Structure 1
């Protein structure tokens, strides 16, 4: 197949080491996997992108590189939010227009966009089926009625794929073709026997639950390691100030940002990953990254959690907001015999190998492409 894949103009593909950007990792691995399978892939992404596919840029570096200017990106964006939002629209429209002008002049079997905000407006202007993957969006995150009407307008001529079934809640009116779960490059995550500490990996903001993780560590008297950037907005800073008083680098340690190639070792050394999210996550890549190393996950029953964790086998799923249930789950893991605990770690690794690898993800998208192309031809849209 001849496939056009559209990435955001915000960040290079793959993400730089000082930035955690899950969609960038997923897009990179998808493109490389499709190329390995012999497909003719063109990737539309910023300058500086690394790929074995044909690369088309809009003639600019990423917004991340332009806007951060060797400063902390999150801090600068938070303190200059109006300037950032204006530039963001300009960068994304430049990429979208560049991509669709090229696609209109060159024959493709399918267009796969990993963002929808601007690209969907262009989808009716070409005689090629357009597929959209939602990486972050859910009904809760659609900002206003205009955005909702925009999606409804294009639902009959565009195709959509979700990264979890839960992501579709409230968006059932869209033309979803299938769900394709994110995957990890399993060989990069080494299985281990684990260690003694609790682990929290995620952005320090109101939605991820870092403060809840600290509360759980204090209640269970277990050491906690926190990894993640602070969201430099009012809620994020409030959460960080709340947990900062407990950081003593003994019982509660905070590492801040950790590069992706080093965080894998941190997953290996953890007893359990805490995922006490306060709002639904579209997927939650950290869960499968931890389980790939054998580390079980304890999470609130929100969003994709019940699709990823096998309750009692690869971790525990707790009622939303029920910290007492989480405390019981933590104690249950620490009270396991060594053989019981190692069995759970083996279950985690096997679960990822069977359901959440890059190969399985690439195969899933390949099947979706074939389904979309068949449907497009049968309907003869346009």
Structure 2
């Protein structure tokens, strides 16, 4: 097939550092190419995939729909829209079209694909389809040995539970490394920065990628995921487990789907998380976590899921 992928216009594909959606788009594009499909990607400049990249000559998502239509390559079999507002749905494209809804937002589109069953039910009202995000486990270094620090990795915003993660570290007197981009500077400078200055056990390292990101995930004794919203997926949970690193997460959104076989890593409250952290012992072996990722969240499974939905959309479009 000749497959067109349309990425948001905020971060390169793959991302230099943080960017879960962009990592998924890259791995999907590579997986499709590995199966012999031709992949064309609209994405920010400096993006690259095993295929053709058409760079956006502007910043932001507002003009994506019109730009894609004005520069639409010929003979496209399917268009896969990953933009956060499903921009291609509003420009009247004459081709089979599917949309992955990466954020917890409702976009009124004909063929929505959510990244978890939970998101399809809570955001889409049960309408549409779902395909879990996938990773290449072999690209994540595995380790039985862990160092004595907790890890928070994600966007620095309230809904990701950054304040709760800091509370947990302070309540239990443990070291916490915070890694992620500042998406709420007011929150950082008014509430987070003063606490960093008061407590040397709290360390902010900013957005990370490459070796630094790999080492943080591989060596943490526990990843904290005290989310304050219905997380549509939670890719960092999968990445941590691929490294053999246990997690503690609030059981919201897609968390029970991802951590289903490991109930001891899910909590109903921050208080329960703190109780588990006081005398923390990893509840599962690192190799159990790695095996779960290999069996349930591989790129190959994600690619097969999307290919099946591409065929369905093409068949439906053809009548």
Q: TM-score, normalised by structure 2?
A: 0.90
Please state if 1:284 is matched with 2:234: yes
Which stretch has the larger CA shift, 287-296 or 194-203? 194-203
What whole-Å deviation, never above 9, does each CA across 1:179-209 have from its counterpart, x for those lacking one?
Answer: 1111122111111112322111122221122
| Alignment match of 1:131 (pick from 71, 93, 98) | 98
| Alignment match of 2:303 (pick from 346, 358, 362) | 362
1:40-79 to 2 correspondences below 5 Å: 40-58=38-56, 60=57, 63=59
Please state if 1:190 is matched with 2:190: no
- Counterparts of 1:328 and 1:288, CA distance in 2: 24
Q: 1:51 to 1:264 in 2, by over 3 A?
A: same
| 1:135–1:282 CA contact under 8 A, matched in 2 | yes
- Counterparts of 1:242 and 1:281, CA distance in 2: 28
| 2:175–2:202 CA contact under 8 A, matched in 1 | yes
| 2:104–2:123 CA contact under 8 A, matched in 1 | no
Please state if 1:226 is matched with 2:194: no
**Structure 1, unaligned runs of 5 or more:** 64-87, 140-150
Please state if 1:349 is matched with 2:301: no
SS in 1 for 2:177: strand
- Counterparts of 2:199 and 2:204, CA distance in 1: 7
Please state if 1:205 is matched with 2:154: no
| Alignment match of 2:31 (pick from 29, 33, 37) | 33
Give the structure with the larger helix fraction.
1
- Counterparts of 2:182 and 2:10, CA distance in 1: 19
Q: 1:203 to 1:107 in 2, by over 3 A?
A: same
- Counterparts of 2:208 and 2:124, CA distance in 1: 37
Shift of residue 368 of structure 1? 1.4
Q: 1:49 to 1:22 in 2, by over 3 A?
A: same
Shift of residue 332 of structure 1? 5.9
- Counterparts of 1:138 and 1:332, CA distance in 2: 38
SS in 1 for 2:285: helix
- Counterparts of 1:350 and 1:332, CA distance in 2: 26
| Alignment match of 2:19 (pick from 18, 21, 43) | 21
- Counterparts of 1:271 and 1:100, CA distance in 2: 48
| Alignment match of 1:162 (pick from 93, 114, 134) | 114
Structure 1 equivalent of residue 9 of structure 2: 9
Please state if 1:98 is matched with 2:67: yes
Bigger relative contact order, structure 1 or 2 (CA pairs below 8 A, ≥6 apart): 2
| 2:121–2:127 CA contact under 8 A, matched in 1 | no
Q: 1:259 to 1:294 in 2, by over 3 A?
A: same
| Alignment match of 1:309 (pick from 259, 262, 266) | 259
SS in 1 for 2:159: coil
Higher Cα Rg, which structure: 1
Q: How big is the alpha-carbon RMSD for the aligned residues of Structure 1 and Structure 2?
A: 2.3
SS in 2 for 1:20: coil
Structure 1 equivalent of residue 247 of structure 2: 297
Structure 1 equivalent of residue 225 of structure 2: 275
